[in-house]
Amino acid sequence: MTSLPSRPSLESVTTINDDGSRRFIHPATARGRFSHWRTIFAVALTAIYVALPWIKINGNPALFLDVANRQFHYFGLTFLGQDIWIGFFVLSGLGFCLFYVTALLGRVWCGWACPQTVFLDIARRIDGWCEGDATARRRLDRAPWTVGKTVRRFAKHGLYGLFSFLLTHVLLSYFVSLPRLYAMMTHAPGENWGAFVFVFLLTAALWFDLAWFREQFCIVLCPYGRLQSALIDSDSLVVGYDTKRGEPRGRKGTEGAGDCVDCLRCVQVCPTGIDIRQGLQMECIGCTACIDACDTVMTKIKRPTGLIRYDSRRGFEGKPTRWLRPRTLLYTGLALLGAIALTAATSTLKPVAVNLTRVTGIPYVVEGGVVRNQFLVRLQNKRNATVTFRLEIIDGPASLHWTGSEGGVTVTPLGEEMRTIVLTLPRADLKAELPLRFRVISSDGTIVDKPGTFLGPIMP
């Protein structure tokens, strides 16, 4: 037996019944300035997501994670496999930014930018087009299967599926680029089984997420919400209810009643089914729907808006929010430190990768009073243009000669060349192991030095 709680309770999860079955909620649509701006923001984010593979910078898509070729194009920069360590700074930096933003602004990521929220808002629009408003949808859920209901359900799930299908294709184009994606789409599935299965499974997963799983992702699966109590403090911005102003609740005109008229509008619009008036809860994704809902009601009954608003927990107690506090100062310091580290790390990246290895076999050859050392130089051009490289060996004595790089080495865009370099030195001039620097100078002025040692029998 599933007894529907009339009101959300702090002691249970609204969307999970006592017997563990799912209670599917239909949040009402809130309209107001926050939903207005959130819509604009969501459209912009979706547009960026779809546009990135189409925008070309330096001949490559703005974001193209070419895993097959280990080439990662990011707004005109190209990173190769050996630059993957930069990923440590990028990932830890992004994680830290999330912590930083949470300390200052609470869960704005969840409410405004998380793909789950953005795409779910689009799915709720699909609900509205196909099945009407929240009340109509609840009625349709209970209604027997008629032709009308079947058509509506088919239309709804068809649109979810189409939307998931499009999103998945965009995601795939980030990894294979659009021309390749188009080629795969025009060929039989059997020629690209991997990609085909990927698209099928991800489309199915997204469809399941939009059609059924929904807020369960945020309240049960996502680890970020669970960290909320550790990431925020009483000065972080949260969506909250002004208890001092609102309580005790009562109809308009009741003696001694606060501003809250207990209309339950904030509960009806909540996508995770909580009552924000019970305080900050893990389930709150900060979507601001309750702010818009409450503001609409307050405007109607001619009371000041902001009974539910963005404020810190200190703010709700009537105290000023401390923006500068040890936590934010420390985070700012750490953010600067991270930015410096990332800048320093990326500035060491050169548009050429040079590898210097000794040719396998014996380390040196003595012949006719001359000592010979042989090296392999591998040059990888990370630019999207042909580059010619010149090799110099510095720190060596005047009698050191080398062959193998005459006329320079020309490397095609994002190409790779290898050269055997043979060094000779009169045996008499080898007084000790000879440290050398191999200098690669590219036609665009980049200089890369690699250390190498000239070995041989040392004359006493």
Partner 1 sequence: MTTKPDPAEHVPGEADEDALRPHSYDGIHEYDKRMPRWWLLTLYGSMAFSAVYWGYYHAYTIGPMPEQALATEMEENAARAARNSGIINDDVLWKMSLESAVIAAGKVTFDTTCAACHKPDLTGLIGPNLVDTQWIHGGKPMDSIKTIEEGVLAKGMPAWGAMLGKQKINEVTAYIFSHHKTGEEVVVVPGWTPPGAAPAAAPAP
Contact 245, 308 (CB under 8 A): no
**Residue 209 carries which side chain, given as an amino acid letter?**
D
Contacting residue, 132, 250, 258, 404, with partner 1 by CB under 8 A? 404
138 near partner 1, rule: CB under 8 A? no
Looking only at residues 194 through 213 of this chain, which bind partner 1 when binding is defined by CB under 8 A? 213
Q: Which residues pair with 74 in a beta bridge?
A: 63, 77
The number of angstroms, rounded, from the C-alpha of 250 to the middle of its chain's C-alpha atoms is 45
Point out which span in 137-145, 162-170, 342-350, 417-425 binds partner 1 (CB under 8 A).
417-425
- State which H helix or E strand residue 439 sits in: strand 434-442
Contact at 8 Å (CB) between 86 and 346? yes
Q: CB atoms < 10 A from the CB of 111, how many?
A: 22
- State which of positions 215-254 bind partner 1 (CB under 8 A): 216, 220
Nearer to partner 1 by Cβ, of 32 and 225: the residue is 225
Q: How far apart are CA 83 and CA 346, in angstroms?
A: 9
Nearer to partner 1, 278 or 332 (CB): 278
- d(C-alpha 82, C-alpha 223), whole Å: 31
Distance CA 319, CA 192 (A): 61
Stretch of residues binding partner 1 (CB under 8 A), selected from 65-73, 187-195, 197-205, 424-432? 424-432
Q: Which is nearer to partner 1, 18 or 433 (CB)?
A: 18
Instruction: Answer for the pair 46, 52: CB distance below 8 angstroms, yes or no.
Output: no
Candidates 232-240, 250-258, 346-354, 396-404; binding stretch for partner 1 (CB under 8 A): 396-404
Q: Select from 121, 395, 417, 449 the one that contacts partner 1 (CB under 8 A).
A: 417
Q: How far apart are CA 318 and CA 299, in angstroms?
A: 22
Stretch that binds partner 1, among 45-53, 156-164, 292-300, 401-409 (CB under 8 A): 401-409
| Nearer to partner 1 among residue 297 and residue 425 (C-beta) | 425
Q: What part of residues 274-333 is at the interface with partner 1 (CB under 8 A)?
A: 281-282
Q: How far is the CB of 247 from partner 1 (least distance, A)?
A: 19
Closest to partner 1 by CB, 13 vs 123, is 13
Helix residue spans in 112-252 (DSSP H): 115-131, 134-142, 147-176, 178-186, 193-208, 216, 223-226, 228-231, 243-246
How many Å apart are CA 391 and CA 405, to the nearest integer? 7
Indicate which single residue of 113, 351, 426, 450 sits in contact with partner 1 (rule: CB under 8 A): 426
Q: Which residues bind partner 1 (CB under 8 A)?
A: 3, 10-13, 16, 18-22, 213, 216, 220, 281-282, 359-362, 364-370, 372, 374, 399, 401, 403-404, 406, 417-422, 424, 426-429, 457
